[in-house]
């Protein structure tokens, strides 16, 4: 049983020095072949490959099934349904959508393994970096900050998805794997903040990067994530602190709102002026089904969101997952962002297009990550090689989080200023007299309108205590569905050291 556990969770990681190339910009490295860990990490170049391997986990969408964060969180929210060809297409997505999850059914195994893979790689890199000799001080400081950001990023997703997780900040010997227990979520958050503050206080971590390093962590990404982590802990006494941290990003003079909302998700506008942190994907790896898993470096969400068997202009065909709910369509009615967020399938049909109606079809589809015919990969399996980057953190999100933090700390005036900055960008009238709870409700509504189908909605509902109200008709149960179950296989293999989450 223990050997099986090592294979399942750590075998790939122990061999993580066999690094795959990552497709774009600074991530594009040639594979170096197999080399024993004990003789690797001896040079600055080899250490950099270790850092790239840690970044690589951000891309993964095929760990133990289809585990793309944006798509899964859309399906769990009231923005989208699960979709697919039928109810049996991807049972884990359907279970998350309807909150029929159990310790064996759901996306939890893939998410758990993905994030602990990233954490292992970050831990390994930091240890090898510390041991290495003859390494430039600037390289050492900067890459350590990047690795700490990535470890914090992975733990932030873990604690939001599961709450109760082991806290591992060093590589483990085989006999230590089975003694790991879950840490308090407060301790995990404390480690996340420590990593982010370490990175934030690293002078060598740049505020901007040259074109050939796009995708690397910057001071803005670190600071924005730190503010988000504080906001998500819901400590009202820290809201002014979070607001101040968000202000650093907003007032840095580096980022700005795109003048035209339609440009934010254009494939020609990756790393645009509004982008603070993007997860990169590549179309030039010629990936096929033989290396589906995490080997193609394509954005699988793009294929999932497309219309099944689509025939018509502009769009490529897809698999009809995450059809947009009629409720979101109604909520966004008359909002200027709707046409850039939602594809109206009925309009396409009237223009002569056709597609096969999938499971939970509404005839509305996600536009922000819609695959275009002109962008299909020309090598390998096109479905697995979409190169659309995920806009993980963008300025509008940060501004709205700052508005929320200011409102929750009692500064309604600055909260309105930030809220209205988002509204006026798309030509909406500003709010003038709204304050108190009504102002907070307006900010939450604006977050949904601005960030619809980007994967923020589910966690927004959970952290603000509105999940039962908004998702109860989907099956959401309080004190249970705020988190996923711990994978039962992990509990079994841990020989009782891991405890299942409440309600599962």
pLDDT tens readout for residues 222-277: 999 999 999 999 999 999 999 999 999 999 999 999 999 999 999 999 999 999 99
Distance of alpha carbon 408 from alpha carbon 235, whole angstroms:
10
- Kindly state the tokens that stand for 305: 């969101």
| Domain-embedded: residue 35 | yes
> Does 45 reside within a domain?
yes
The tens digit of pLDDT for each residue in 422-481 reads 999 999 999 999 999 999 999 999 999 999 999 999 999 999 999 999 999 999 999 999
* CATH number of the domain to which 77 belongs: 1.25.40.390
**Does 139 have pLDDT greater than 50?**
yes
Please report whether residue 119 resides in a domain.
yes
pLDDT band, very low/low/confident/very high, at 393 (cuts 50, 70, 90): very high
Predicted confidence at residue 24, as pLDDT, reads 52
Q: Which of the 8 DSSP states describes residue 394?
A: E
Q: Is 124 among the domain residues?
A: yes
Residue 56 CA to residue 19 CA, distance in Å, equals 9
Residue 489's SS3 state is helix
Report yes or no on 88 lying in a domain: yes
Cα separation, 263 vs 244, in Å, equals 29
Q: What is the pTM of this model?
A: 0.93
Could you tell me if residue 42 is inside a domain? yes
Burial of 33 (0-12, 13-18, 19+ CB in 10 A): exposed
The secondary structure element, H or E, covering residue 364 is: strand 364-366
Tracing tokens 């932030």 back to the chain, one arrives at 156
How many whole angstroms from its chain centre is CA 167? 20
Domain that holds residue 153: 2-234
* pLDDT-derived band at 217, boundaries 50, 70, 90: very high
**Do the Cβ atoms of 275 and 373 come closer than 8 Å?**
no
Q: Which residues contact 432 (CB under 8 A, 6 or more apart)?
A: 416
Residue 316 C-alpha from the chain's centroid: 24
Residue at 39 is within a domain: yes
Based on its alpha-carbon atoms, the radius of gyration of the chain, rounded to whole angstroms, reads 22
Q: For 308, phi and psi rounded to 5 degrees?
A: -70, 130
The number of distinct structural domains making up the chain is 1
- Distance in angstroms (rounded) separating the CA atoms of residues 81 and 83: 6
Q: Measured between alpha carbons, how far is 501 from 162 in angstroms, rounded to an integer?
A: 8
What pLDDT score was predicted for residue 37?
66
pLDDT at 495: 86
141: closest CA among 190, 225, 198?
198
State the pLDDT at residue 177. 81
Torsion sign across C-alpha atoms 148, 151, 154, 155: negative
Examine residue 68 and state whether it is found in any structural domain, yes or no.
Answer: yes
Q: CA 452, CA 332: separation in Å to the nearest integer?
A: 9
Interatomic CA distance for residues 163 and 453, integer angstroms: 23
Residue 504 CA to residue 10 CA, distance in Å, equals 26
């Amino acid at each position: 049983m223990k050997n099986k556990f090592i294979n399942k969770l750590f075998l790939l990681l122990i061999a993580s020095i066999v690094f795959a190339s990552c497709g774009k910009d600074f991530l594009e490295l040639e594979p170096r072949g197999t080399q024993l860990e004990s003789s690797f990490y001896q040079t600055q170049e080899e250490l950099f490959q270790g850092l790239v391997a840690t970044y690589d986990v951000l891309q993964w969408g095929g760990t133990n099934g289809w585990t793309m964060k944006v798509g899964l969180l859309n399906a769990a929210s009231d923005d989208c349904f699960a979709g697919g060809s039928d109810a049996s297409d991807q049972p884990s997505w359907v279970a998350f959508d309807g909150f029929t999850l159990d310790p064996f059914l759901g996306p939890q195994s893939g998410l758990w393994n993905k994030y602990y893979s990233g954490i292992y790689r970050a831990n390994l890199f930091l240890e090898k970096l510390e041991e290495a000799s003859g390494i430039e001080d600037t390289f050492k400081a900067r890459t350590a900050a990047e690795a700490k950001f990535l470890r914090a990023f992975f733990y932030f997703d873990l604690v939001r998805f599961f709450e109760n997780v082991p806290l591992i900040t060093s590589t483990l010997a085989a006999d230590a794997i089975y003694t790991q227990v879950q840490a308090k979520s407060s301790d995990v958050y404390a480690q996340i903040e420590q990593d982010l503050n370490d990175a934030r206080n690293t002078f060598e971590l740049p505020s901007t990067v040259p074109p050939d390093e796009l995708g690397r962590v910057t001071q803005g990404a670190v600071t924005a994530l730190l503010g988000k982590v504080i906001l998500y802990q819901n400590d009202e006494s820290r809201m002014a602190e979070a607001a101040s941290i968000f202000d650093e990003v907003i007032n840095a003079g580096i980022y700005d709102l795109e003048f035209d909302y339609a440009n934010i998700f254009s494939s020609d506008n990756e790393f645009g002026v509004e982008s603070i942190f993007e997860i990169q994907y590549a179309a030039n790896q010629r990936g096929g089904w033989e290396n589906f898993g995490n080997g193609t470096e394509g954005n699988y969400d793009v294929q999932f969101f497309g219309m099944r068997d689509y025939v018509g202009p502009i769009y490529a065909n897809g698999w009809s997952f995450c059809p947009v709910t009629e409720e979101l369509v109604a909520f966004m009615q008359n909002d200027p962002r709707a046409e850039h967020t939602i594809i109206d399938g009925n309009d396409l049909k009237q223009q002569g297009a056709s597609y096969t109606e999938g499971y939970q079809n509404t005839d509305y589809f996600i536009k922000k990550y819609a695959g275009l015919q002109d962008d299909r990969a020309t090598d390998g399996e096109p479905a697995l090689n979409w190169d659309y980057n995920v806009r993980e953190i963008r300025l509008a999100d940060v501004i709205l989080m700052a508005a929320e933090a200011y409102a929750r700390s009692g500064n309604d005036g600055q909260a309105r200023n930030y809220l209205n900055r988002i509204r006026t960008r798309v030509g909406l009238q500003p709010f003038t007299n709204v304050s108190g709870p009504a102002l907070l409700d307006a900010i939450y509504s604006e977050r949904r309108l601005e960030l619809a189908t980007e994967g923020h909605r589910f966690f927004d509902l959970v952290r603000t205590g509105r999940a039962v109200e908004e998702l109860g008709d989907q099956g959401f149960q309080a004190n249970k569905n705020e988190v996923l179950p711990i994978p039962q296989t992990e509990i079994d293999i841990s020989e009782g050291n891991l405890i299942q989450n409440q309600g599962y």
